[in-house]
């Protein structure tokens, strides 16, 4: 009986030692999109003359990262009424029924279903883009990623640049195709601050 008690005490001591020395498992962390440094941009060929580059000025959402598990979630909402071409009359034109139809569809959304990591860095985000009431699968290629305390805000912050290419015709916005290109490149610069 004495041996059994000594063995039990040794097991309890060993378990306590492991519990205090083992690294804690990281939990998923939520980051809120920082709207003054997050701008989705879109570019397309205009009549063969030039590549036009425009952006949306209002974007909200959240990013959840579990760095240990190498998983994540991305949920982005773009206010399509905030489209900025640099010319007010053209902003209205892009918001019309033939293109974004912002009267009916004032937002576009991206919701991820998988984040792909290489080492500690996300390199692709697979998900669904909903634009003009149509949902299509897209993959964002992540070209840069940074996670560190913000030097001015003193809060954990992440940032990334990513891009994808979509076809306007797949979102019922194919006016003037092929003269104005069907393919549209979307680039997003994003920063998000830990809640």
pLDDT of residue 46: 97
Least confident of 15-29, 72-86, 145-159: 15-29
3-state secondary structure string, 162-187? EEEEEEHHHHCCCCCCCCECCEEEEE
Is residue 9 domain-resident?
no
Is residue 71 domain-resident?
yes
pLDDT of residue 12: 44
Tell me the average pLDDT across 94-104.
97
Dihedral (CA of 67, 69, 70, 71) sign:
negative
Taking Cα atoms as reference points, which of 44, 144, 148 lies closest to residue 94?
Answer: 44
Residue 26: pLDDT band by 50, 70, 90 thresholds? low
pLDDT in tens, 54-94: 999 999 999 999 999 999 999 999 999 999 999 999 999 99
Tell me the average pLDDT across 104-113.
98
Q: Tell me what percent of the residues of the chain surpass a pLDDT of 70.
A: 87
Q: Could you list the residue range(s) of the whole structural domain that residue 110 is in?
A: 25-194
DSSP run (H or E) holding 3 = helix 2-21
Give the gyration radius of the chain's Cα atoms. 23
Total domains in the fold of the chain? 1
pLDDT of residue 71: 96
Is residue 17 domain-resident?
no
Could you tell me the CATH number of the domain that includes residue 43?
2.40.128.110
Q: What is the DSSP letter of 106?
A: -
């Amino acid at each position: 009986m004495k041996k059994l008690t000594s063995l039990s005490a040794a097991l309890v001591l060993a378990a306590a030692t492991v519990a205090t020395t083992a690294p804690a498992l990281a939990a998923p962390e939520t980051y809120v999109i920082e709207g003054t440094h997050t701008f989705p941009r879109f570019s397309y060929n205009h009549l063969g003359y030039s590549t036009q580059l425009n952006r949306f000025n209002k974007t909200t959402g959240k990013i959840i990262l579990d760095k240990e598990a190498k998983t994540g979630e991305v949920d982005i909402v773009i206010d399509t009424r905030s489209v900025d071409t640099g010319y007010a009359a053209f902003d209205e034109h892009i918001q019309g029924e033939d293109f974004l139809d912002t009267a009916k569809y004032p937002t576009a959304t991206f919701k991820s279903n998988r984040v792909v990591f290489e080492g500690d860095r996300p390199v692709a985000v697979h998900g669904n883009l909903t634009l003009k009431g149509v949902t299509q699968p897209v993959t964002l290629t992540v070209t840069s990623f940074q996670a560190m305390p913000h030097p001015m805000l003193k809060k954990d912050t992440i940032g990334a640049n990513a891009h994808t290419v979509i076809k306007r015709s797949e979102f019922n916005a194919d006016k003037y195709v092929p003269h104005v290109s069907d393919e549209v490149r979307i680039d997003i610069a994003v920063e998000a601050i830990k809640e």
